[in-house]
Structure 1
Amino acid sequence: MDLFSAQHPDFVSLAEGACWLPGFALPVMDTLWSGLQQHLSAYPPQQMMTPMGLMSVRTSSMGSWGWVGNSRGYAYSATQPGKHLPWPAIQPVILKLAEEAARRAGYPDFVPDSCLINVYAPGSKMGLHQDKDEMDFTQPIVSLSLGIPATFLFGGAKRTDKPVKIPLQHGDVVVWGGASRRFYHGVLQVKTNIHPLVGAQRINLTLRKAR
């Protein structure tokens, strides 16, 4: 099957335990985008440092646990960097969307406690990596895309496994867990573009059960 034909099905299997749900978030996008704008205004995304250097994306978080990084490493934190204040709760529309996407993918008991928000300007990218800082690997990962297109790389259990290139669009959701829970994944450099709702940026929401 050609995964990237003009006529996408609403469910595309990527690997055992992983799927792509084109346009899954579109029915609630108006509410979702309105709430997300309010969040980003109140909790502006910032570039995090990692042991490899400054990230090209800017990040913010919602939920009991936010994702933070510094020159020594990265981890989940219950408080915002430098403020010692808790992150805001995951907004209800985002929480419900993540739970429904996970259920569609075969994970009926997903209740995330962390929502990482990555903001990609043109030229930003995300190298191949595993999500392995969580405590319960029976829980899947739900990734939601907004704004300009991006090519998502979904690899295998080893960094050297050749990844599949998935052309994500506004409103697409990818879910992976089970046998593919710790597969390598990343995002190619985002190309210059304009989205009529979100503007010249791509925003990715990654929901996980961190603790």
Structure 2
Amino acid sequence: MPSICDLCAALDLAVIDCALQRHLARAQPRVLAANAHACAIPTIGAYTAGYLLLVPRSHVLSLGGLDRDARAGVDTLMREMAVRLAERYDRPVLGFEYGLNAAGQRRIEHGHLHLLPTTADLHGWLADRLTGYPIASLADLPTDPTNSYITVRDQSGALAVYPVPTDTQPRIRLRHVVATLDPRLEEGAWDWEAAPHTDLIRRTVDDLAPVTARQMS
């Protein structure tokens, strides 16, 4: 884990300079919605407008590492933001998390759920390759810290979990898969380090920032 977690910094309003803020205009807020357990923020590498990360306030490797109340809180925020995204962009909404419970294996080691407007059938793609099972809520995510999983919220709102080995190499790059399945996107759009998509990050904030935040800018 980096000495300062980029996602922890993004959620901390006392932090003036962080990786996400460097892609925003001076007056744009980082946090677009929040509850007691999690925040919705735009993501670096937003290859479509409306691409959000739902980030728990607690620093954990995966959402399954949260207590049940916190997982339920992320679920509530996911459902609220999925409605908001669908209304704003007039597209179905996909959510996913790679719950990798292994320290030192990723640059971002703070569990988070991707949520974005897209027709990409990630659920179908995974179902052709892995064995999964349905869950009713993110509160029901697997919690064993020795195991890893992928969870998907499909465009109908149904949730599924796909157990995956923690030591799988190479791992499935979910952002890449989604970008490949979305006919709007060009090859390479998924690579957030090479293509941060600053314009789409800023558009997402303009589209979704609370009215009070826009009035203060």
Scaled by the length of structure 1, the TM-score of the pair is: 0.28
Pick the structure with more helix per residue.
2
Scaled by the length of structure 2, the TM-score of the pair is: 0.27
